[in-house]
Amino acid sequence: MPAKANPRNHRNSPYVLDGWAAQLHRSAAGVLWRFRTELATITVVGAAFAALAHRMHLIPAAITLGGLVLVLVMLPWTRRFVIRRAWCVMSRHRIQKVCFETRMHTRSGRLPLVLRIHPTEVGERAVVWCRAGICFEDFEAHTGELAAACYAREARIERSKRWAQIVAVQIVRRDTLAARTVVAPDLAPAAVPQASDTTPITAA
C-alpha cells in the first residue's frame, strides 16, 4: 500500500502554478540581519586597518594587519573558532536558500528568519522563526534538502516545547561516537591446531 502523500511537501502540492505568484521580498532590515556576520567582520577589519593606517603608511599597515590575521589563523584554538563560525555562516545562507528553492515561504515571498546559529559537537544548530503560513511540518518534509544543501550527513528538526513558531534545525556533519582507528580486514587468521598435531594423552 503506497504511503500517504505529505501535503506539506511541495512535490505533492496540487497547486503547481501557485508558486509563480510569490515574489521574494527583501527589506533592508532583513538583508542587514542575514549578512550581519559579514558586515561585522568587514567593519572590524576596516576599523583596524584605518587605525593602523593613521599611525603608519598604508603598505606597512596592510602587512601588519595581514601578519596578525595569519598568526591568529595558525593558532589551533583560533583556527577552530574561525572554521566553526565560517560553517555557521555558510549553513545560515544555505538554509535560507533551501527555503526559497523549495517554496518554503509565505505567499508574499517572505522567508523564515534564522534567529541564531551556533556550532555544536556534531555540526551546527540553527533556531528559526517561522512566519505566518510556515510550520514545523514544512521543515520536517525537507530534511533531505537541508542536509544536502549544508553538505552534511543529515538534518534533524526539533519543535519548540513552548512556541509553535520556533523550529530548531540540527545540522549533523560528523559522528563523535565513530571509531577513529579502522582495522584492516585483510589480517591473517590465527593458526588453528589440526587434529594431527595433538598428542593423545594416555593414563599412567
pLDDT digits (tens, 9 = 90+) for 79-93: 888 889 999 999 999
Per-residue pLDDT band at 14 (split at 50, 70, 90): very low
Distance of CA 17 to the CA centre of its chain: 31
Together in a domain, 110 and 68? no
Angstrom CA distances, 106 to 27, 42, 52, 166, stand at: 15, 32, 47, 16
Together in a domain, 169 and 125? yes
What is the rounded distance in angstroms from the CA atom of residue 10 to the CA atom of residue 137? 12
Number of domains, the chain:
2
Whether the pLDDT of residue 200 is over 60: the answer is: no
Average pLDDT over residues 100-127: 89
Distance of CA 135 to the CA centre of its chain: 20
Together in a domain, 53 and 99? no
Per-residue pLDDT band at 13 (split at 50, 70, 90): low
SS3 at position 124 = strand
Residue 142 placed within a domain: yes
**CATH classification at residue 106:** 3.30.980.40
**Three cell numbers, residue 98:** 533551501
Together in a domain, 96 and 41? no
pLDDT tens for each residue of 23-58 = 555 667 777 878 888 888 889 888 888 888 888 888
Among 106, 108, 112, smallest CA distance to 129 is for 112
Residue 120 placed within a domain: yes
Chosen domain end from 14, 40, 74:
74
Per-residue pLDDT band at 20 (split at 50, 70, 90): very low
Nearest-5° Cα angle at 116, 108 to 40: 95
Together in a domain, 64 and 116? no
Per-residue pLDDT band at 195 (split at 50, 70, 90): low
Which residues constitute the domain of residue 67?
A: 28-74
**CB-count exposure of residue 106 (10 Å: 0-12, 13-18, 19+):** middle
Together in a domain, 94 and 170? yes
What is the rounded distance in angstroms from the CA atom of residue 23 to the CA atom of residue 21? 7
Together in a domain, 102 and 147? yes
In terms of average pLDDT, the best of 1-15, 106-120, 142-156 is 142-156
In terms of average pLDDT, the best of 12-21, 64-73, 159-168, 194-203 is 159-168
